[in-house]
Structures are given as structure tokens and as C-alpha cells.
Amino acid sequence: MWKRDDSSGAAASHQNPPPPAPIARDAADKLVMNLGKSVMIKGELSGSEDLTLYGRMEGSVKLPEFTLTSGPDAERDLARAAAERGIGFLDAPVSGSIAPARAGTLTALVGGSEADLERARPALEAMTKAQHHLGGVGSGAVMKLALNTMIAVTNEAISELLVLCERSGLERAAAYAALADSALASPFVQYKQAAYLAPDDEPVGFTPKLMLKDLALAYELAAEVGAELPAVEAAREVLERTIAAGRGDEDLVRVADTLRDGAA
């Protein structure tokens, strides 16, 4: 495993195998790089020769502090740097959280050439249940940002539903069970049930701080393409309150606690 310090991009620690670039030079014809920041990837690309780099998956659900997303422009910059070294490049962020990652049922959101995707597909299939080719490099990042805005809004809506039901005298578990069996049920509703009902007993999947960072990237993209995000703005405001309340490094479901505090 190769771990880098999140603030500087400098190597923090490693154990066998060595960092990606030497592996790339010496042995690999495919390399999946799973790092937190674009600057880290740029560093690992330097010096790589005779390598086709396929399937870069942004973020790690096993290490929540590295579950990060980049914007499409950063991915395109990396693809150009890779092309200069004869390296094929895919941006392939994933959709899913801890349980899907452990089960190998994440969804890959792929940007890049069809040829590179087909050559990379065996590696991606080992980690994901589906690989959606969305267009050129950067398309995966766009889709990931769009999905994360919906996660933020969905998390806000579920939190509001629970608090409204609780204040009206319903048991939290009963209300969630009804939601999970309703027309509004989704994989997110299903796999986050335990976290919403007993957040102290569940691992952190994604934090308010990281979501706020992703929403900032989404706002930048929306400004570039002329899209409005009014529902996202409402979710962002409560995320900021959640961070201010000291819950920024806990799970997103703590937004419900922020609403509970406000409704008390």
C-alpha cells in the first residue's frame, strides 16, 4: 500500500509493493491508481515509460479521508500529461460506499477512449459491477460531481423526513422502514439505513467536510455550463451548520442531528 500525506502530496509511508512509477516502468501494463488528489497522480506519472495507464479510480471508500473527487479540467490535464509519455488514461471515479466496495459492487463512471476502456475493463470488472462509458476524459468526473450533488440533496431530504416524523410522534425506525419500502426507496436509502438509525455504531462513509468540497467543485462546473443548483444550495447551508456544530468529520447522516438541534 502506498499512502501519501493529504496536505502536501509527499510520501508518508509505504510497504511492498513500492510506489506506482517504479512498478509501471518495471512490470505493469495496467496500473490502477487510487489516490486522493490530482497533484499526487501528477507526481506518480513522472518518469513512467512504456506503460498504458488504465482505470484511475478517484478516492477510496476504505480510507474515508481519501475519498475525494476532482473536477473534469484536472482529469483532462492529467490525461494530457499521460499522453506525453505514451500512457493511456481513464478517469473512473466510482459510485458507492463501504459495503459495495467490500462486495466489489461499486459502479465505475468512466471517461476516456473506448479502446482504453476495453483494455482496462478486466481490471475494472474486478472492482465494480458496472462500467458506464460517459464520453471523453473528464466525463467520469462530471458524472461523479452530479451524483454527489444528488447525494447531498437526498441526505438532506432523508434527514428532514426523519426529523419531521420524529417531532410528529413516529418512531425513527418505523419511519425509515416505511421510507425503505416506499416508491422513494433507492440503493442509498437501503445501505444507509443502519447509519441513519444508529450512527454511533456505523463506520464513517463520507463526511460533511468532503461533501462541501465536492459541492464547491459542482458549483464551479455549474457556473461554467450555466446550470442552476437551488436544491443543492439548501443542502449546502445545512452542511455548513453541521460542520460548525463540530460534526464535519463524522458521517453525512449527522445532518439529521443538526436539524434535530435546530428543531429542539
Is residue 106 within 8 A of residue 128, CB to CB? The reply is yes
Q: Which domains does the chain have, with CATH numbers?
A: 2-135 (3.40.50.720), 143-263 (1.10.1040.10)
pLDDT at 66: 28
Which pLDDT does position 156 carry in this prediction? 98
User: What pLDDT is recorded for position 108?
Assistant: 92
Separation between Cα atoms, residue 106 and residue 95, nearest integer Å? 6
Cα–Cα distance between 78 and 82 in angstroms, integer?
6
What Cα–Cα distance (Å) separates residue 248 from each residue in 13, 148, 251?
26, 17, 8
Contacts (Cβ under 8 Å, ≥6 apart) of 185: 179
User: What pLDDT, on a 0 to 100 scale, did the predictor assign at position 263?
Assistant: 59
Closest CA to 102 of 211, 10, 203: 203
Under a CB-based contact definition with an 8 Å cutoff, are residues 109 and 95 in contact?
Answer: yes
CB 115 within 8 A of CB 103: no
How much is the pLDDT for 54? 37
Peptide bond into 93 cis (omega under 30): no
What pLDDT tens digit does each residue of the chain (264 aa) get?
344 445 444 444 444 445 555 544 455 566 666 655 554 455 555 444 333 343 333 332 222 222 346 788 888 888 888 788 777 888 888 988 777 888 888 999 999 999 889 888 888 898 899 999 999 999 999 999 999 999 999 999 999 999 999 999 999 999 999 999 999 999 899 999 999 999 999 999 999 999 999 999 999 999 999 999 999 999 999 999 999 999 999 999 999 999 999 855
Cα dihedral sign for 68, 73, 79, 81? negative
Burial class, 126, CB count within 10 angstroms (exposed 0-12 / middle 13-18 / buried 19+): exposed
- Catalytic residue numbers? 144
